[in-house]
Structure formats: C-alpha cells, structure tokens
Amino acid sequence: MKCLAQNPKNSPAASKGNGGVRTVNQAQHNQSRGFTLIELIVATAILVVLTGLAVPLARVTIKREKEHELRHVLWEMRDAIDRYKDAADRGAFQIKVGTEGYPPDLQTLVDGVDVGGKKVRFLRRIPNDPMTNSTDWGLRSMQDDPASDSWGGQNIFDVFTKSDGTGLDGTKYKDW
C-alpha cells in the first residue's frame, strides 16, 4: 500500500479509524463517485419508455370511467321515464292525449306531477352528459323512426347522448 496522506487531522480517512493513512484505492474511489453519462442516459430512456406506456393506459382508464358514468346516467333517466309511464298507466295523474303516457320533456321529470295532492318527482335534476359535458340530450318519442336522430316533440320515449364518439367496445355512444 502506498501512503498518500500522513496527517491524521487533515485526512478524510481519519474518521475511518485507519490512523489517517489514505490508500491509492481510496483516492481513486473518491474520484469516481457519481453516475456516468451512460448510466444517466439508460435510466432516462427507461423512464421515457415507462411514461410512454402509462399515458395511453391513463387515457383508456379515463374513457372507461366516462363510459361507466354515461351508462349510469342513461339508466337513471330511462328508469325515471319508465316510472313516469307506469304512474301514468295506473291513472295516478292526468296525461295529454297523444303522449301515450310518456313525459312531454325531461323538465317534467324534474318538476314532477301532482298525484293525489302530492308532488311526485322522478329526477332530482337533468344530469350532465359525461361525453359532451352538457345537459343537452338526444330525445326519441314513440312516434319517431327508431333510426332517426331527430325528435318529433310529442313525448320522450328514450334518451341518448349526442356524442359522435365510439366506445371501447366499438359501438357508437348514441346507440347505447
């Protein structure tokens, strides 16, 4: 072993308990601390690849959550339409001729109808369409052609989103 430092007070090796003697190996070790450029490039490349894989996965997850919310909201509104129709068919309230017992508009489901002196509401509010982020829904009446996207205005038999998007399962959102 070759001796590089003899002064125990000034030597960094003094705290290591070898009497202040610093060897050649210790001197070389101290000079090569840190990462090499190659190691940094490899680590950065790995992070870029992992990030590139995570971003599409996050987009699919967000789309799946919106689709789940759309299914839930459509079910909620269709259930309200069905409950309105059931109450109308039971004669719980007066209906207009030509409506076939379906609500005239979505706001009627929110405002409710008088049933035996009580106000019965079928929806708390008109929900936002998660795909278009608005309360503007596509509507179908009993008199409309099933393939038509235009609403005749007589009653509300069904609701659908106005989004032109396609779901993860390959079907158009407005066909849900």
Do 13 and 77 lie in a common domain? no
The Cα–Cα gap between 29 and 45 comes to 27
Of residues 61 and 97, more confidence is placed in 61
Q: Say which range, 61-65, 79-83, 120-124, 138-142, has the weakest mean pLDDT.
A: 138-142
Please report which confidence band the pLDDT of residue 1 belongs to, taking 50, 70 and 90 as the band edges.
Answer: very low
Do 97 and 12 lie in a common domain? no
Do 7 and 86 lie in a common domain? no
Do 93 and 152 lie in a common domain? yes
Do 23 and 99 lie in a common domain? no
Do 83 and 51 lie in a common domain? yes
**Segment 116-126 mean pLDDT:** 93
Do 62 and 140 lie in a common domain? yes
Do 46 and 7 lie in a common domain? no
The Cα–Cα gap between 171 and 165 comes to 9
Q: How many CB atoms lie within 10 A of CB 141?
A: 19
Do 46 and 26 lie in a common domain? no
Of residues 37 and 74, more confidence is placed in 74
Look up the domain containing 86 and give its range: 37-175
For residue 24, pLDDT beyond 70: no
Q: Are 119 and 112 in contact (CB under 8 A)?
A: yes
Question: How many Å from the N-terminal Cα to the C-terminal Cα in the chain?
Answer: 81
Do 2 and 62 lie in a common domain? no
For the record, the structure tokens of 118 come out as 């009580």
Count of domains in the chain?
2
pLDDT at 88: 92
Do 43 and 115 lie in a common domain? yes
Do 47 and 26 lie in a common domain? no
Across the chain, what does the average pLDDT equal?
A: 84
Of residues 150 and 30, more confidence is placed in 150
